[in-house]
Amino acid sequence: MAHTYIRFDFGTDEEKAQLARHKLDGWRQAFRLDKRVQYKLDRPESPAAETTAKPEAAEKPAAAAKAKGKAAEKPAGKKAGKPAEAVPAKPAVTDGKVGLLVRLYFSPHEKLSEQRWIERIPSEEPFKSAAPKVIHQHDAEFEATDQQFESLV
């Protein structure tokens, strides 16, 4: 299957990056695009970000233990996983640059759907101001972008 990447650079605007991520999540659920539209936030690591991430990582096990303790007290009919899911997996970096890398992965018979999403995503509001760049499979920087997408968490 051929795939295409769309790269967005939000600069230091973490709020717009989160809005864009939320909008992509909504589209993925509404249009059942789970495997076809995937994204990863790209935050280049900086020394300041690493030092702030370590203390937060130490606090997470304590927060998880509290959530488990509260879950044990709940009746058996309620779901225990809700509080743990609400905690973001990655700490929000407010000083660094934020990018979003979206991979469109449609099969060959879905060319029209792929083209519509390539046109729609960059034209929507949180994505417009983020300098969208579409990278097709035949472009020179495709291989580097593909490796970058696979290396992001």
Residues 131 and 70 in one domain: no
Q: Give the integer Cα–Cα distance in Å for 83 and 108.
A: 40
**Radius of gyration of the chain from Cα atoms?**
18
Question: Which of 43 and 80 is assigned the larger pLDDT?
Answer: 43
Looking at the domain assignment, is residue 134 inside a domain?
Answer: yes
Residues 147 and 102 in one domain: yes
Q: Yes or no: say if 105 and 35 are a contact pair by the CB < 8 Å rule.
A: yes
Residues 60 and 17 in one domain: no
Residues 13 and 77 in one domain: no
Condensed to tens digits (0 to 9), the pLDDT of residues 9-59 reads 999 999 999 999 999 999 999 999 999 999 999 988 754 444 334 444 444
Q: Yes or no: say if 36 and 106 are a contact pair by the CB < 8 Å rule.
A: yes
Looking at the domain assignment, is residue 40 inside a domain?
Answer: yes
Residues 34 and 100 in one domain: yes
Residues 55 and 37 in one domain: no
Residues 27 and 69 in one domain: no
Residue 121 has which token pair? 């995503």
Q: What is the CATH number of the domain that holds 124?
A: 3.30.70
pLDDT number for residue 95: 64
Residues 58 and 26 in one domain: no
Confidence of residue 106 (pLDDT cuts 50, 70, 90): very high
- Dihedral of CA 101/39/26/60: which sign? negative
Looking at the domain assignment, is residue 91 inside a domain?
Answer: no
Sort strands 37-42 and 99-104 into parallel, antiparallel or unpaired.
antiparallel
Strands (E), 3-135: 4-9, 37-42, 99-104, 133-135
The residue range of the domain holding 108 is 4-44+96-151
Residues 102 and 34 in one domain: yes
Looking at the domain assignment, is residue 30 inside a domain?
Answer: yes
Q: How many domains does the chain have?
A: 2
Residues 81 and 107 in one domain: no
Condensed to tens digits (0 to 9), the pLDDT of residues 8-20 reads 999 999 999 999 9
Residues 69 and 135 in one domain: no
Residues 101 and 122 in one domain: yes
